[in-house]
Amino acid sequence: MRWSEAFIPTLRDDPADAEAVSHKLLVRGGYVRQLMSGSYSKLPLGKRVCRKIENVIRQEMERIGAQECELPTLHPGEVWKRSGRWDLIGPEMFRLTDRRDTDLALAVTHEEIFTLLAVELRSWRQLPQVWFQIQSKFRDEPRPKSGLLRVREFVMKDSYSFDVDEEGLDRSFQRHFEAYRKIFSRIGLETMAVEASSGSMGGSESIEFMVRSDAGEDLIAACETCGYAANVEKAVSRLPAVEDPACEDVPEKFATPGVRTIEDLVTFEGGAAAERQIKTLVYVLDGETVLVLLRGDHDLVEQKLLDCSGANELHAAGDEEIRAALGAGAGSLGAVGVSGLKIYADEHLRGRSAMTTGANEDGFHLHNVDLARDIAVDEWLDLREVKEGEACPLCDAALAIGKTIEVGHIFKLGTKYSETLGASFQDEEGASHPIIMGSYGIGIGRAMAAVAEANNDANGLIWPVTVAPFEVIVSVVKPGDVETSEAAARIYDALREAGIEVLLDDRDERPGVKFKDADLIGIPYRITVGPKGLAEGKVDFQRRRDGESRQLDVHKAADWATESILEERR
C-alpha cells in the first residue's frame, strides 16, 4: 500500500474527551473514529489490526477443534424470555419491536441462540462439540468510556462447548484456557488468569484474563508469592483473629444524638472503634427487603451479595423503604431482635460479641451485642471487599490491589441453558440428559485497545509484528528524486514478493512529518531511503520498539527486513 493512496487521517492533538492512552493514540493514529458515545468506526488501519487478532484467534480455536459459525445479531425476544434473561439483563439489552409488534433484541451475547442449535445434537455420539463465531454484540452501557475499552457496539469471539458430562466440560474449559494463553501471548499481551464472578451468565466457575493497566476498570487482588489472583468481586483474604472482651448478658442502649455514620460513632464519646461496630445495610433483592451486616470498617461487594444470595437484581433501599422496614433512618440501624426480614451477615462477624450497632431508633445505639445471641442471622456469606495488604488466603503473604483490563472470560455454564431450552442427548442406554455447556469470550476491539495500552511511548504506538497493520514502512526522503523513488520502489516490491506487509510512504511531505507519522501509527520497522544514503549505497533500517538502527546496503535491505520480520512472526 502506498500512503499517498491510503486513508490514514493522523492527528497532531489528542481528542478532547480521551483519557485512556489507547483512546488517544488510536484516534490520533487514524485507526478509529467515534460516531456517537460508545460507537466507533474502524478505519483501514484499525480493521487490519482487528483482522490480524481475529486470525490468531481462528488459528488457536481451530487447533482445539472448534468450528466457526455465524449467528444472527437480531434475536426473538421469546428466546430470551424462555431463558429468564429478558428481565434479568435489564436496560443493558437493546430491545425493539418489528412491524407485527413482536419483541426483538440485539445480541448482548449468544448463549441462547447457540443452545437452540445444540437441540439438534440428539445422541452422545455427536458430542463433544465446540462452536465459535466472531460476531457483533450490543450492550447499552450506562457510561461508555475509554475509547474501545467500554463501548455499546463491539465484535466478540464467543465460543461454546457441548459435552456429555462434567469431566468433558473440564476438558473443554482447560483447552480454552490454554488456547487463550496462546492467543494473548501471540498478540503481545501479558495476561493473568483470575477467579471471577459469573454474574448474569450463571454457571459454576469462571476465569477472567486480565492485563494490568491504569486504564482498566476491574480491580484484582493478587499475591506475588503464590500466584493467587481474583477479581475483587470474588476475592477473599485472611484477617487476624479477633479476641472480644467480656460481654454483658443483654445489649445496652445509649443515646447517640447527631451520629449518622460509622465515623461519627468512632469519634462520639462512649462510641466504638469501626472494627467493633456492626454496619447494617438495607437492600432490596428481587423485590424482597433484606438486611446485610458487615463489620464497621468493611465494605460490601454487591456482586458477592448477588452471587451468594442467588438474586437476579438488587438495589440499596431508599429512605422510605428503610423506615418501613426498621422504623428508623440510616445511621441508627441494627438487626438486634429483628424478625420478618432475611438477614445476611458477613463471615467475619461470625462468633463476634461485645459489638455496637444501631438500635432502630433515631439517635440511639446498642453496646454489648452478641451476634449469636442477639441477631437471628439467616445466612453467613463472604460479602466484604478485600483490601490492599491483607493476607493471601493461600499463603498469608500481603495481597496487592491493582487495576486491570479484562480481555477474556471463560465460563462453566453447566446445564443452565440446555435445561431451559431443551438441548438434551440420549446416552448409550437411551436415557435423556441435558447437554453440559461452557461459554468463552474475547472482545476484539478491546483486545486491540489493550495491546495499544501495553505497547506505546511518548511518540505513539508500538505494535508487535503479529498485529501491526503493516510490518515495515519504507519512508522516501525527497520522493521527487527519481533515483530515490526507484530505489524505494524496488525495496517495496521485493518486500511484497517476500510476503511482507509493507507501507510505502511516498507522500510529498517533509522527512520530519513522515518520521513522526511512522512513529505515531507504530509500524514495527522503518526503512528510510534518501539521496544522501543512496550516494553511499546505503539505507537506514530502524526498529520502532527501541529505536535501534543500522545502515544497510540498499540491495540487502529487503532481505534483512524480511529475515527480521519472519523471526518475530515465529
Query: In terms of C-beta density within 10 A (0-12 exposed, 13-18 middle, 19 or more buried), how is residue 412 classed?
Result: buried
The H or E element that residue 511 is part of is helix 511-521
Task: For domain 252-381, give its CATH number from 1.10.8.60, 2.10.10.90, 3.90.960.10, 3.30.420.40.
Answer: 3.90.960.10
Length of the chain: 570
- Give the side-chain half-sphere CA count within 13 A for 301: 24
40-62 pLDDT, tens per residue?
999 999 999 999 999 999 999 99
Give 360-412 pLDDT, tens digit per residue: 999 999 999 999 999 999 999 999 999 999 999 999 999 999 999 999 999 99
Residues 478-522: pLDDT tens digits?
A: 999 999 999 999 999 999 999 999 999 999 999 999 999 999 999
Lookup result for grid cell 508469592: 225
198 pLDDT more than 70: no
Single out the residue of 140, 139, 150, 190 nearest to residue 18, CA to CA. Answer: 150
* 204 pLDDT tier (thresholds 50, 70, 90): low
C-alpha to C-alpha distance for 41 and 415, rounded to whole angstroms:
37
Cα–Cα dist 17/33, whole Å: 13
Identity of the residue numbered 29: G
Give the architecture-level CATH label for domain 470-569. 3-Layer(aba) Sandwich (3.40)
Residue 320 bridge partners (DSSP): none
Cis omega (within 30 of 0) for bond into 44? no
Q: 130 near 437, Cβ under 8 Å? A: no
Calpha distance 264→246 (Å, rounded):
24
In the block, residue with C-alpha cell 507504530: 522
| Location of C-alpha cell 518486500 | 495
What are the domain boundaries of the chain? 3-235+401-453, 252-381, 470-569
| pLDDT given at position 108 | 96
| Confidence at 247, pLDDT banded by 50, 70, 90 | confident
Measured between alpha carbons, how far is residue 20 from residues 66, 148, 309 in Å?
34, 10, 36
Q: DSSP letter at 13?
A: S
Average pLDDT over all residues of the chain: 95
- The string of pLDDT tens digits covering residues 294-340 is 999 999 999 999 989 988 889 999 999 999 999 999 999 999 999 99
pTM (global) more than 0.85: yes
| 106-145 pLDDT per residue, tens | 999 999 999 999 999 999 999 999 999 999 999 999 889 8
Bond before 479 cis per omega within 30 degrees: no
Do residues 530 and 491 touch, judged by C-beta distance below 8 A?
A: no
Q: What percent of the chain has pLDDT over 70?
A: 99
b/e per residue 227-248 (b: at least 16 CB within 10 A): ebbbbbbbbbbebeeeeeeebe
- Measured between alpha carbons, how far is 179 from 209 in angstroms, rounded to an integer? 12
| Res 17 pLDDT > 90 | no
C-alpha to C-alpha distance for 551 and 247, rounded to whole angstroms:
82
CA dihedral 140, 143, 144, 149 (to 10 degrees): -110
Name the helix (H) or strand (E) containing 82. Answer: helix 77-83
The β-bridge relationship of strands 103-106 and 74-76 is antiparallel
What are 429's three cell numbers? 442406554
What is the DSSP pairing of strand 218-222 with strand 229-231? Answer: antiparallel
Residues 198-213, mean pLDDT to the nearest whole number: 78
Taking a C-beta distance cutoff of 8 angstroms, is the pair 30, 461 a contact?
A: no
Cell triple for residue 271? Answer: 462510641
544 Cβ partners below 8 Å, 6+ apart? 462, 518, 519, 522, 523, 524, 525, 526
Question: Residue 203: which pLDDT band, with cuts at 50, 70 and 90?
Answer: low
Residue 548 CB neighbour total at 10 angstroms: 9
Q: Tell me: domain 3-235+401-453, CATH 2.130.10.10, correct?
A: no
